[in-house]
């Protein structure tokens, strides 16, 4: 009798879940498409962005000379004369900060996008610093997506508003570091300057999510992905020591073998706890109406299937897994200098991204305890705490959401967890609302080209980006 009763409850719950999934109707985002601008405006914007791309601004930890960034600044002066005539400008060892004085210094906004880029190795269809524009209206080159296009849109928005004679209701800042790709001092110096000046930013917009179709496999439609969570960052070295020796008479459990066992253990028995956080739940709740039915059945009923989802997601998608837990990637290794030598010391470096429910201290303790089982020492190279979470129910997020819907009618807007790092993490000392979003449409190839081959962006996407920043400035009060 008890079995029948339990089965009845299970069947009842499944029927309720099925009905909820069937009643969930697709939203406008499912059919929404971004129409690229083909006017002379986009053509002119493309030419201007190309000039910025033609400036090679690769940042490197080993290079301290900022000449190429100062040359890039000259290009900005040529392209945006009104900004440079009107705004107060500060340079922090190559990193830039502009202040456009508004009617009030209360609740200023800060628009950010870095000027440095990563290396452009490999064979490209168009040379990586050519700024070529092809017949489809794509501007080619390193930095088009990450992140000179959004920087162009920010400057252009101010340039055109100033030309119109517009005066903002509050101060507007532009920040652009030249050290984002190397986690350097540009953004920290800029943020500290603002703090020392007593500036408290109401809204900060930095790089992050963009406008993209099918942001998650199985989800149809076009979405603006707005990053409101950034994980902490850390590098940890694990060291194995021995007496070394000649490779012709090896002993068991040598340093490299112990390191190998350790890495396999971490990967096979992942030690970090996955949680279906409110931000992740909100993201999938907003996407659920446009999912295939199997996914919709699960995500329309997180009240019933949350535990199952947490178990399934890491197996389905590494990107989704990274939104749920601390990640650990072994990225560098060092052994002996000779092929016939057993190393006295060998090491591997793990790059870690710390989730909020298991912050840097707890995550490092967990993995260091595992390392001890293999007689390894742990050395923390660097560590940052996870960043404050922006309230997706708050007025600032809603203003960004409304602006996206005005510029891109019909698309969906989803908060999400940034799995990478941005300069915005340094600005929590001056703002509670650091939002990671660049208002530009990109396709899947362009998304995949970030830090890869053949980076490019549609010039027809630039006008909407400019309009977004103009609207945000006008909306701010």
Measured over the CA atoms of residue 126, residue 130, residue 133 and residue 138, the dihedral's sign is positive
Closest CA to 110 of 87, 93, 94: 87
What is the rounded CA–CA span in Å between residue 295 and residue 301? 10
Per-residue b or e along 302-313, where b marks 16 or more CB atoms closer than 10 Å to that residue's CB: bebbeeebbeeb
User: What range defines the domain where residue 374 resides?
Assistant: 232-272+328-383
Q: Is residue 6 part of a domain?
A: no
CA atoms 416, 422, 423, 428: torsion sign: positive
In a domain, 426, yes or no: yes
Cα angle 357, 218, 12; round to 5: 75
**301 and 447 housed in the same domain:** no
- The pTM assigned to this predicted structure is 0.94
Give the end of a domain, one of 367, 383, 399: 383
Angle (CA) 53-417-218 rounded to 5° is 90
Say if 10 falls within a structural domain: no
Q: Report yes or no on 12 lying in a domain.
A: no
**CA 129, CA 148: separation in Å to the nearest integer?**
12
- Residue 329: what pLDDT? 96
Residues 417 and 392 in one domain: yes
Which positions ≥6 away from 84 have C-beta within 8 Å? 76, 77
3-state secondary structure of 1: coil
Does residue 341 contact residue 244 with C-beta atoms inside 8 Å?
yes
Q: What are phi and psi of 223, to 5 degrees?
A: -135, 145
How many Å apart are CA 2 and CA 454, to the nearest integer?
Answer: 63
Does one domain contain both 124 and 190?
Answer: yes
Residues 125 and 74 in one domain: yes
Domain match, 376 and 424 both:
no
| Pairwise CA distance, residues 92 & 123, whole Å | 34
278 in a structural domain: yes
Residue 109 sits in the same domain as residue 189? yes
- Residue 27 forms part of a structural domain: no
Distance CA(111)–CA(332), nearest Å, equals 35
Burial code (b: 16+ CB inside 10 Å, e: under 16) for 131-167 equals bbbeeebbbbbbbbbbbbbbbbbbbbbbbbbbeeeee
The neighbouring-strand residues paired with 332 are 349
Q: 408 and 427 in one domain?
A: yes
Q: Is residue 284 domain-shared with residue 414, that is, in the same domain?
A: no
371 lies in the same domain as 290 = no
Based on the fold, state whether residues 202 and 127 are members of the same structural domain. Answer: yes
Written as tens digits, the pLDDT of the chain (477 aa) is 677 676 777 778 888 888 888 889 999 999 999 999 999 999 999 999 999 999 999 999 888 899 999 999 999 999 999 999 999 999 999 999 999 999 999 999 999 999 999 999 999 999 999 999 999 999 999 999 999 999 999 999 999 999 999 999 999 999 999 999 999 999 999 999 999 999 999 999 999 999 999 998 899 999 999 999 999 999 999 999 998 887 887 888 899 999 999 999 999 999 999 999 999 999 999 999 999 999 999 999 998 999 999 988 887 788 888 999 999 999 999 999 999 988 999 999 999 999 999 999 999 999 999 999 999 999 999 999 999 999 999 999 999 999 999 999 999 999 999 988 999 999 999 999 999 999 999 999 999 999 999 999 999 999 999 999 999 999 987
Say if residue 335 is in the same domain as residue 301.
no
| Nearest CA among 291, 325, 301, 282 for reference residue 216 | 291
Q: What is the pLDDT of residue 174?
A: 98
Q: Is residue 170 located within the same domain as residue 198?
A: yes
Rg (the chain; Cα; Å)? 25
Q: Is residue 18 part of a domain?
A: no
**Last residue of a domain, which of 307, 324, 341?**
324
> What span, in angstroms and rounded, lies between the C-alpha atoms of 268 and 174?
45
Domain annotation covers residue 397: yes
Structural domain count of the chain: 3
Q: Which of 383, 403, 428 is the last residue of a domain?
A: 383
Give the pLDDT score at 445.
97
């Amino acid at each position: 009798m008890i079995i029948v009763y339990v089965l009845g409850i299970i069947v009842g719950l499944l029927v309720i879940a099925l009905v909820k999934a069937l009643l969930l109707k697709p939203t406008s985002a499912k059919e929404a498409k971004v129409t690229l601008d083909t006017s002379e405006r986009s053509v002119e914007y493309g030419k201007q962005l190309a000039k910025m791309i033609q400036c090679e601004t690769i940042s490197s930890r080993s290079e301290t000379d900022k000449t190429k960034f100062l040359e890039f600044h000259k290009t900005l002066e040529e392209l945006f004369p009104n900004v440079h005539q009107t705004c107060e400008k500060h340079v922090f060892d190559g990193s830039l900060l502009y202040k456009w004085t508004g009617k009030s210094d209360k609740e200023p906004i800060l628009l950010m996008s870095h000027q440095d880029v990563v290396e452009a190795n490999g064979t490209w269809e168009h040379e990586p610093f050519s700024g070529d524009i092809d017949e489809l209206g794509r501007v080619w080159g390193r930095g088009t997506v990450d992140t000179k296009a959004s920087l162009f849109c920010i400057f252009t928005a101010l340039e055109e508003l100033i030309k119109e004679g517009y005066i903002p209701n509050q101060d507007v800042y532009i920040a652009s570091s030249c050290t984002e790709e190397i986690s350097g001092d540009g953004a920290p110096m800029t943020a500290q300057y603002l703090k020392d000046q007593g500036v408290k930013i109401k809204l900060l917009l930095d790089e992050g999510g963009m406008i993209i179709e099918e942001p998650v496999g199985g989800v149809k439609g076009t979405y603006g992905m707005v990053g409101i969570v950034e994980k902490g960052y850390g590098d940890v070295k694990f060291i194995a020591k021995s007496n070394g020796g000649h490779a012709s008479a090896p002993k068991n459990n040598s340093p490299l073998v112990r390191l190998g066992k350790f890495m396999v253990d971490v990967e096979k028995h992942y030690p970090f706890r996955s949680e279906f956080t409110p931000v992740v739940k909100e993201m999938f709740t907003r996407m659920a109406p446009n999912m295939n039915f199997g996914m919709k059945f699960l995500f329309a009923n997180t009240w019933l299937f949350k535990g199952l989802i947490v178990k399934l997601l890491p197996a389905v998608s590494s990107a989704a897994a990274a939104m749920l837990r601390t990640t650990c990637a072994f990225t560098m290794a060092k052994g002996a200098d000779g092929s016939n030598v057993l190393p006295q010391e060998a090491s591997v470096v793990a790059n870690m991204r710390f989730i909020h429910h298991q912050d840097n201290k707890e995550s490092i303790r967990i993995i260091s305890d595992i390392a001890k089982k293999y007689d390894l020492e742990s050395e923390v190279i660097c560590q940052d705490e996870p960043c404050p979470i922006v309230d997706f129910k708050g007025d600032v997020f809603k203003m960004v959401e409304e602006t996206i819907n005005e510029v891109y009618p019909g698309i969906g807007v989803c908060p999400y967890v940034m799995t990478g790092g941005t300069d915005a993490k340094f600005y929590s000392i001056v703002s509670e609302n650091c939002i990671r979003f660049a208002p530009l449409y990109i396709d899947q190839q362009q998304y995949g080209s970030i830090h890869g081959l053949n980076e490019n962006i549609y010039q027809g996407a630039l006008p909407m980006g400019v309009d977004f920043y103009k609207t945000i400035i006008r909306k701010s009060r």
